Amino acid sequence: RTPQQQNPGFHQFKPIKPSSQDQLIVPRGYQYDIVATWGEDLGTGERFGFNNDFTCYFGNNPNEGILWVNHEYIGNLAIYVSGYRGEGPRTPEQIRIEKYNVGGSVIHIKKDSKGKWGIVKGSQYNRRITANTPIALTGPARGNAAVGGATQVTGTLANCSGGKTLWNTAMSGEENYMDMVEDWSTAENKLNPAHYGWIVEIDPLDPKSTPKKHTSLGRFSHENAVMTVGKSGRLVVYSGDDANDQCVYKFISDGVFRRDAGKQNSRLLEKGTLYVVDLGNLKWVPLDRDKTPALTEKFKTQADVLVNTRDAAKLANGTPLDRPEDIEIHPKDGSVYIALTNNLDHGNYYGQIVRLVEDDNNSESTSFEYEVFAAGGPQSGFACPDNMAFDSQGNLWVTTDISSSKLNEGPYKYFGNNGFFMFPTQGSNRGKAFQFASAPVEAELTGPWFGPGEQTLFLSVQHPGEETKDPNNPTSRWPTGNIPRPSVVAISRK
């Protein structure tokens, strides 16, 4: 048997049809387990957080490993989490509960004798990172006036998507931090917005480690971070700013990656140059006071540039885009796939996936070409691309995020609930969408991650029943038939 036969992967399946059922639907021949669910006891006195998003598996064992999971936000389902009914300020107790339920979880997971995944309760690896966990700042803004002089900040929040470093740690993007900073600030404890909106690095394999926010990577509504290495060995990290008319960025380190340096390579994220994409001139423009004169007058220090990345990007001619979500790098040709989810202000209801090819196929290049790889719409069968992952064959897998309040109506009446799609990147089906999964009512599928050997696909089911108005009569009862509970699932062949 060839390795391929042993691990047939996920790309061979009979596509499903769009659905509006309150179920997680996967193709015939596939099944799913609930790996972890909101509120689940980790056996360490801690509980799994709310609205799981990005997932990232550590270890080479296909049956047991460590999973990092982002917990993004609370939102309309606060009634179940903290009892907050959406009117007026929250009580201190409601704030405490909500701050505990965001951030991320490290969970040690394992298949049992029946092949069902679950948490290893009480494992020394199980750990919560919350909006209260101390987190170190690194890079130019550390200790700078632009962050109120802080070298360490309190907590992480709005953790949307992310990525894995080349030295086996997780990166987590702080996305829509502004509302949470406001909702959770009190007269006695005012959160500083400059402490949020960063890329956070977490080491799930070292339970005692202090997470870090790397200020060199800029501050904005970070969807994700994806890392690669350029031809001279420098690290390159791409990240999108998910808001209407915001930009795509990449960071290039000054120093070069050395595999034998292991986790010491993290220091490379402290020194380098942040660039913003200019699609008109096919250039990456450095957001550096010394290299881009338009920035020198407005910003007194490089820390100011990084804390106010959006303003700097506009001055540097960064291209406003239709909500850049996830970015992934093709495992075979190194090209960069960018999900632009939609821009309702511009009448872009369905979004696109753009493919950027760096000059000389070198991620350190400052010029490139690009094309639209796939455009959403009724004909193509998908809308609002969001999180992405490649399989080892080079197929692109994409979740969709039609806003829960707009599902199954108006421009979105063709698509059913949100879904998960495979797109071949070569051959006669290049750029065509094949639907693999359909989400429960008002849920979004997020955080796709293929486990070792592609035997398991981890997927988050986020915000089922998000439009619920009466908590006793939720719009979704997934997965238990009771109240809606965001959960991480493991999908495998039967």
Which parts of this chain interact with ligand FEO (CB under 6 A)? 72, 160, 175, 223, 242, 325
Q: What is the Cα–Cα distance from 359 to 188, expressed in whole angstroms? A: 52
Q: Which residues contact 412 (CB under 8 A, 6 or more apart)?
A: 349, 383, 402, 406
Binding status of residue 401 toward Ca ion by CB under 5 A: yes
* Binding partner of residue 269 among Ca ion, ligand FEO, none, CB cut-off 5 to 8 Å per kind: none
For ligand FEO, give the closer residue by CB, 203 or 322: 322
- Report the length, in residues, of the chain: 494
Q: Restricting to residues 363-392, name those near Ca ion by CB under 5 A.
A: 386
CB of 446 to ligand FEO, least distance (A): 8
For Ca ion, give the closer residue by CB, 322 or 325: 325
- The DSSP bridge pattern shows strands 134-138 and 212-214 to be parallel
* Binding partner of residue 40 among ligand FEO, Ca ion, none, CB cut-off 5 to 8 Å per kind: none
Q: Which residues contact 266 (CB under 8 A, 6 or more apart)?
A: 165, 167, 169, 201, 212
CB of 224 to ligand FEO, least distance (A): 8
With CB under 5 A as the rule, give the number of residues binding Ca ion. 4
Reference 368, options 258, 281, 456; nearest CA is 281
CB of 3 to ligand FEO, least distance (A): 35
Tokens of 488: 């991480």
Binding status of residue 326 toward Ca ion by CB under 5 A: yes
Whether a cis peptide bond, with omega within 30° of 0, leads into 479 is yes
For ligand FEO, give the closer residue by CB, 108 or 250: 250
Cβ-contact 188, 127 below 8 angstroms:
no
CB of 341 to ligand FEO, least distance (A): 7
* Partners of residue 251 on adjacent β-strands: 237, 274
For ligand FEO, give the closer residue by CB, 73 or 251: 73
For Ca ion, give the closer residue by CB, 224 or 253: 224
Q: Give how far the C-alpha of residue 86 lies from the chain's centroid of Cα atoms, to the nearest Å.
A: 26
* Binding partner of residue 304 among ligand FEO, Ca ion, none, CB cut-off 5 to 8 Å per kind: none
Q: What is the Cα–Cα distance from 129 to 127, expressed in whole angstroms? A: 7
CB of 448 to ligand FEO, least distance (A): 13
Reference 56, options 210, 203, 197, 207; nearest CA is 203
C-alpha dihedral, 354 to 357 to 392 to 269, nearest 10°: -100
For Ca ion, give the closer residue by CB, 416 or 448: 448
Q: Is 484 left (phi over 0), alpha (psi -120 to 50) or beta?
A: beta
CB of 236 to ligand FEO, least distance (A): 21
CB of 388 to Ca ion, least distance (A): 5
CB of 338 to ligand FEO, least distance (A): 13
* Binding partner of residue 326 among ligand FEO, Ca ion, none, CB cut-off 5 to 8 Å per kind: Ca ion
CB of 399 to ligand FEO, least distance (A): 10
R_g over Cα of the chain: 21
For Ca ion, give the closer residue by CB, 184 or 397: 397
Beta strands, E only, 395-440: 396-400, 419-423, 434-438
* Binding partner of residue 278 among Ca ion, ligand FEO, none, CB cut-off 5 to 8 Å per kind: none
For ligand FEO, give the closer residue by CB, 126 or 462: 462
For ligand FEO, give the closer residue by CB, 33 or 241: 241
DSSP string, 141-167: TTT-GGGTT-SEEE----EEEEEE-TT
Residue type, 130: T
DSSP string, 200-237: EEE-TT-TTPPPEEEGGG--S-B---EEEE-TTSEEEE
CB of 466 to Ca ion, least distance (A): 12
* Binding partner of residue 364 among ligand FEO, Ca ion, none, CB cut-off 5 to 8 Å per kind: none
* Binding partner of residue 175 among Ca ion, ligand FEO, none, CB cut-off 5 to 8 Å per kind: ligand FEO
For Ca ion, give the closer residue by CB, 203 or 325: 325
CB of 325 to Ca ion, least distance (A): 5
By beta-carbon distance, which residue lies closest to Ca ion? 401
Scanning 78-86, 93-101, 358-366, 397-405 for contacts with Ca ion by CB under 5 A, the matching segment is 397-405
Neighbour-count burial of 9, counting CB atoms closer than 10 A to its CB (0-12 exposed, 13-18 middle, 19+ buried): middle
Cβ-contact 436, 424 below 8 angstroms:
no
* Binding partner of residue 203 among ligand FEO, Ca ion, none, CB cut-off 5 to 8 Å per kind: none
* Binding partner of residue 72 among ligand FEO, Ca ion, none, CB cut-off 5 to 8 Å per kind: ligand FEO
Cβ-contact 288, 296 below 8 angstroms:
no
For ligand FEO, give the closer residue by CB, 33 or 242: 242
The mark string for 269-308 relative to Ca ion (x by CB under 5 A, - otherwise) is ----------------------------------------
Q: What is the Cα–Cα distance from 203 to 207, expressed in whole angstroms? A: 8
Q: Is 486 helix (H, G, I), strand (E, B) or coil?
A: coil
* Partners of residue 152 on adjacent β-strands: 136
Tokens of 237: 């990290």
Residues that bind Ca ion (CB under 5 A): 325-326, 386, 401
